[in-house]
Chains A and B, each alone.
Chain A
Amino acid sequence: MLMARTIERPTATDTLLRADSISKVIGNNGIRTTILEDISFVVPARSLFAINGPSGSGKSTLLNMLTGIDRPTSGRIDFHGHQLPTMSENQLARWRGRNVGIIFQFFQLLPTLTAAENIELALELGRTVPHGQRKARVQACLTHVGLQDYGRRLPSQLSGGQQQRVAVARALANDPPVLVADEPTGNLDSKTAHQVFDLLQELTERGKSVIFVTHDRDLAARATDRIDLLDGRIVSATFRTEARS
């Protein structure tokens, strides 16, 4: 059954994601606005993939489509064998829970739960780790992001950088092969931004694929692969990871 399936761990030479001719048009009262127009690209597995562009270029919309959060008006998105636009909201939710870790610009931690509980929540929803092993897994994730002593703190008791690292830990909780980040450093100061980015970069070295959106040219330049958007179109692309397809 589709929703019970998980992604087979892609090898270095696999294509993680293929987008074919995707467009997004929004309309209200006869006024139509094209957000994305005929976009096609591939994301190689185990790459640090950047979607770069200025404000309003459609990069966040594109990212939302790659995770099934938004749906294209036309076109196909094949996420390692899964046709995302054909899946229901609940199927997408379960699929995301096990296969994709999402990191938001504004962290989106649940304010009433501690850092550890936020991570544990992802484990409960993903159901990838037996109940008895969850606490250990939470601690491991916190240690991974350098916050092993901050598990009992509420988000409001953490700095922006720490909150984002908890968000990264939460994204890693179910050990998904792919992490998706929307402006992960957009709400952080320069130093903290680089620390968080280093963390993401390190994850690709451990076999994860990371797709991130940024308007920061310096950060985009650190990606292994990237596409640059302007007004809903790809204006340039750089691929350093060798993809089989």
Chain B
Amino acid sequence: MSALGTKAIKDVTRRKLRSGLTVVGIALGVMGLTAVGITSNQLNAALQATNASIGLPDIHFFTSPASPAAVDLLKRQPNVKQVEAETEVVARWTTSTGHAILDIQGLPDFRHREFKKFAITAGQAPGPNEILMERNDLPLQSFHVGDRIELQVNGAPVSLRVSGISQTAGVVSASMAGGVAYMRQSDLEAIYKLPGSNTFNVRLQDYGQRTTSAKQLAHALQASGVTVLFTTIGHDITHGGGAILDGIFTIMQVLSAIALLLSIFLLLSTITTLLAEQVPVIGTMKAIGASRAQVIRNYLLGVSIYGVIGTLIGFSLGLLIGSFAVGALGSLLGIYAGSFFVPPALLVEVLVVGVAVPMLTAIWPLVSGTRVTVQQAISGYGIEKRAGRRRIWLRVAGVLFGFLPQTLQLGARNLFRRRIRALLTLLALALSGAAFLAIQTTSASFNYLLDRSLATYHADIWAMLNNPVPADKVVPLIAGLRGVDQIYPGTMSFPTTQWGQVELFAPVSGGYRQQLLEGRWLSADDTNAVVINESIAQKTGLKVNDWISFHDDLHTGTWHIIGIVRDYANPAGLGVMLAPLSEINAFRHWPNNYVDHLLITSTSSREADIDSLSKRIDDLLSLNGMEAMVSTTAQQEAFSQSAFLVLYAMFYSVVAIVALVGAIGLFNSLAMGVVERRREIGILRSMGATGRKVAQVFLTEAIGLGVVGWLTAVLIGIPAAYGFVALLSQVLLRVPFVFNPMSLVVMLAFILIVAALASLGPVFGASRVKIASTLRYE
């Protein structure tokens, strides 16, 4: 190893904490980038492979029960290559903790299956009174081949033997969407007394014509008296979940970029501190023959060591996390991730980000820091010639802090002694504060969204029916229960506009707290009339009296906008459109009085009573063959908040990192102040200053930088918070920007705590400086 190489390595290893933290900063950025890159690449590839391999139908119809003639009818239609009829029932499965939803698919043939293929990993296909359970069901209730499970069918138990265990690609985690199972079609129809198939899988000759064909086929079914309830067109195993994943990946990439940006600050701080420490060394190197380029190259070697180590650590951890995330998300989405691979482009990206960017970042401080001449370097620190440039600040500080004791004044006056370093420290502190403010604001915005979304509806209990039913069948049933105050039946659909997907919701007077902003509210005799929410109006530019066109897979509509309301529903989509139930059913070609959800209020406001009523509603609906997801408003709120927990965890991890970077920046700055001002400290000590007094000087400097950092953070933090919330709205959830001024106070406390913690080491060091060691060479 050459002497220059040895020096570079020892520069890195000499200050272990500082070097370690710099490496950690680079590693975190690289880790995030790698993990996101690996996960998104692997999952996207797996999704594509799964979509291509499992035989998803080109069109999937869920209908009212139909006779076998419907299959022949569909087969006769143009562009149809293959049709398969099945029966699907959402069943109530009795488990040790109560019950769970079980989506049972009744198949006519288990041997020659063309659509939604699955593998039987244990046991065999079901025979009479048997059921094939999906492996993903196990978290809901443990079972083995040969065990018996119990279904509640219209209130009566039905026992079935588990014939085997299946594994189906695309079946999401049971904890998210309930279980999946397979039975013989004839058995399932017999148990549930269904007069025919209710599911049709269609393969087309020309996949490109799928939308046109779907409309034709739906029309044919409806013409033959079969009601089409839901339609899925195309091959997307995630049913739109991929877009949410992409949104999460985008946010993770942004957070990684923030970590990397901060690591660059850390690196700048480390390099400038190292150079300041090594001014005499640079002078000596130049004195014995080193050119400036040689000195710069030598320090760049040190930076490349930081970069290589940080990249290796970050890349390794990123691979681990990526592999774990691919496994976890793959399991959640029910897809097999396939063999692990690292895209070459990701490798290049990681090297650029982890090694090249730090080296490029270091060039400016190196060029600037190595400008020192031999004479300046070896003549030590005397009276600064540049002090004259700080005269303005010194005068301002004199006026502002003149009332303070001299030791405190000394700290205040030294705030901008090294302007570049002070600027970097302030930026690091301000960035920490701004990130903290952004995350605080985002959390507040999420909470506001959640609160407002639920507050729009007047309901204690939500019953989301698996299949639509006539309102006059379900409402009297629930109304007979003790404790029920009001029932608001409704329906909800998700058509698409040219700007994106909207929620089409039928509000019921009393069950919906409208906040009308413009125009008027719906009236009973409105036809083709719609009220849109603020979000749609803002994103599309549509106004009252304009027309809005929308469509689902089969139907299209163009309605007149009569009003604009404030409503935070459907934050992941374009917004919400409100229309009468009859209009929405007419659009979907459903019978006029069909509803698919109920909002119910309780006569009691006690949570225990509401919970009890919720359970009784659930039981009653099941007893009457209407399976539903029944939950209380409190449960919905808790569920939504738990969904945000992962995001919060990511956000606060970033806050922790930025706080660390801010603290290290300040630590470096103060530590350098102590190193450079040893003579000043010696003079103070020789004049009788105690260690505590000396500590006060540096603590004042730390707190002063903290306060100025806070002021800067206020300036950049609010726009940063707005930008971050806007980004979230763009890629994940439309969140209203809610700013709480108290966040500024919390941020000040946060920055001051960071500043105080960062100053502990240098302040302690300064207070222990011995006079003899500082004045020995003077």
- The answer to whether the Cβ of B289 comes within 8 Å of any Cβ in the partner chain is yes
Interface-facing stretch out of A13-21, A116-124, A211-219: A116-124
- The answer to whether the Cβ of A113 comes within 8 Å of any Cβ in the partner chain is yes
- The answer to whether the Cβ of B390 comes within 8 Å of any Cβ in the partner chain is no
Check A112 against B14 for contact (C-beta < 8 Å): yes
Contact for B289 among A64, A108, A118, A174, CB less than 8 A: A174
Check B288 against A102 for contact (C-beta < 8 Å): yes
Check A110 against B373 for contact (C-beta < 8 Å): no
B interface, over-half SS: helix
Write out the residue numbers on chain B whose beta carbons fall within 8 Å of the beta carbon of A64: 374-375
- The answer to whether the Cβ of B292 comes within 8 Å of any Cβ in the partner chain is yes
Check B6 against A113 for contact (C-beta < 8 Å): yes
Write out the residue numbers on chain B whose beta carbons fall within 8 Å of the beta carbon of A120: 2-3
Which size class do B's interface residues fall under?
A: 20 to 34
Contact for B385 among A28, A90, A102, A110, CB less than 8 A: A28
Q: Could you tell me the distance between the alpha carbons of A110 and B9 in the complex, rounded to whole angstroms?
A: 13
Check A70 against B375 for contact (C-beta < 8 Å): yes
Interface-facing stretch out of B278-286, B304-312, B532-540: B278-286
- The answer to whether the Cβ of B715 comes within 8 Å of any Cβ in the partner chain is no
Closest residue on chain A to residue B1 by CB atoms:
A117
Check B289 against A170 for contact (C-beta < 8 Å): no
Check A93 against B289 for contact (C-beta < 8 Å): yes
Contact for A90 among B280, B284, B291, CB less than 8 A: B291
Write out the residue numbers on chain B whose beta carbons fall within 8 Å of the beta carbon of A124: 2-4
Q: Could you tell me the distance between the alpha carbons of A67 and B375 in the complex, rounded to whole angstroms?
A: 11
Q: Could you tell me the distance between the alpha carbons of A121 and B285 in the complex, rounded to whole angstroms?
A: 8
Write out the residue numbers on chain A whose beta carbons fall within 8 Å of the beta carbon of B385: 28
- The answer to whether the Cβ of A226 comes within 8 Å of any Cβ in the partner chain is no
Closest residue on chain B to residue A120 by CB atoms:
B3
Which size class do A's interface residues fall under?
A: 35 or more
Check A104 against B3 for contact (C-beta < 8 Å): no
Interface residues of A in 88-134 (CB under 8 A from B): 89-90, 93-94, 96-98, 101-102, 104, 106, 108-113, 117-118, 120-126
Contact for A125 among B11, B280, B294, CB less than 8 A: B294
Contact for B7 among A102, A113, A122, CB less than 8 A: A113
Q: How far is the CB of B2 from chain A (nearest CB, A)?
A: 6
Contact (A90, B292) CB under 8 Å given A70-B375, A121-B3: yes
Q: Could you tell me the distance between the alpha carbons of A110 and B377 in the complex, rounded to whole angstroms?
A: 13
Write out the residue numbers on chain A whose beta carbons fall within 8 Å of the beta carbon of B378: 69, 104, 108
Write out the residue numbers on chain A whose beta carbons fall within 8 Å of the beta carbon of B280: 108
Write out the residue numbers on chain B whose beta carbons fall within 8 Å of the beta carbon of A28: 385, 388
Write out the residue numbers on chain B whose beta carbons fall within 8 Å of the beta carbon of A236: none
Q: Could you tell me the distance between the alpha carbons of A70 and B375 in the complex, rounded to whole angstroms?
A: 6
Interface residues of B in 251-291 (CB under 8 A from A): 280-281, 283-291
Write out the residue numbers on chain B whose beta carbons fall within 8 Å of the beta carbon of A122: 288-289
Q: How far is the CB of A122 from chain B (nearest CB, A)?
A: 5
Check B281 against A110 for contact (C-beta < 8 Å): yes
Contact for B288 among A70, A89, A97, CB less than 8 A: A97
Contact (A98, B7) CB under 8 Å given A28-B388, A108-B284: no
- The answer to whether the Cβ of B777 comes within 8 Å of any Cβ in the partner chain is yes
Contact for A98 among B10, B289, B290, B375, CB less than 8 A: B289
Contact for A121 among B11, B288, B291, B374, CB less than 8 A: B288
Q: How far is the CB of B282 from chain A (nearest CB, A)?
A: 10
Q: How far is the CB of B678 from chain A (nearest CB, A)?
A: 15
Q: Could you tell me the distance between the alpha carbons of A97 and B283 in the complex, rounded to whole angstroms?
A: 13
Check A110 against B292 for contact (C-beta < 8 Å): no
- The answer to whether the Cβ of A159 comes within 8 Å of any Cβ in the partner chain is no
Q: Could you tell me the distance between the alpha carbons of A102 and B468 in the complex, rounded to whole angstroms?
A: 94
- The answer to whether the Cβ of A29 comes within 8 Å of any Cβ in the partner chain is yes
Contact for B11 among A70, A108, A112, A174, CB less than 8 A: A112
Q: Chain B 1-44, CB within 8 Å of chain A: the 1/0 string?
A: 01110110011001000000000000000000000000000000
Write out the residue numbers on chain A whose beta carbons fall within 8 Å of the beta carbon of B423: none
Write out the residue numbers on chain B whose beta carbons fall within 8 Å of the beta carbon of A111: 281
Write out the residue numbers on chain B whose beta carbons fall within 8 Å of the beta carbon of A110: 7, 281, 284-285
Q: Chain B 282-325, CB within 8 Å of chain A: the 1/0 string?
A: 01111111111110000000000000000000000000000000
- Sample of 30 A–B contacts (CB below 8 Å): A28-B385, A28-B388, A29-B388, A64-B375, A69-B287, A89-B373, A93-B289, A94-B291, A102-B287, A104-B287, A108-B287, A110-B284, A110-B285, A111-B281, A112-B6, A112-B7, A113-B3, A113-B7, A117-B6, A120-B3, A121-B4, A121-B7, A121-B285, A121-B288, A122-B288, A125-B285, A125-B288, A126-B288, A170-B288, A174-B289
- For the complex with contacts A111-B281, A120-B3, A121-B7, 6 further pairs of A-B residues with Cβ separation under 8 Å are A64-B374, A97-B288, A112-B7, A112-B14, A122-B288, A124-B4
Going nearest first, the 8 A-B pairs with the smallest beta carbon separation are A97-B289, A112-B10, A121-B3, A125-B289, A120-B3, A108-B284, A90-B291, A69-B374
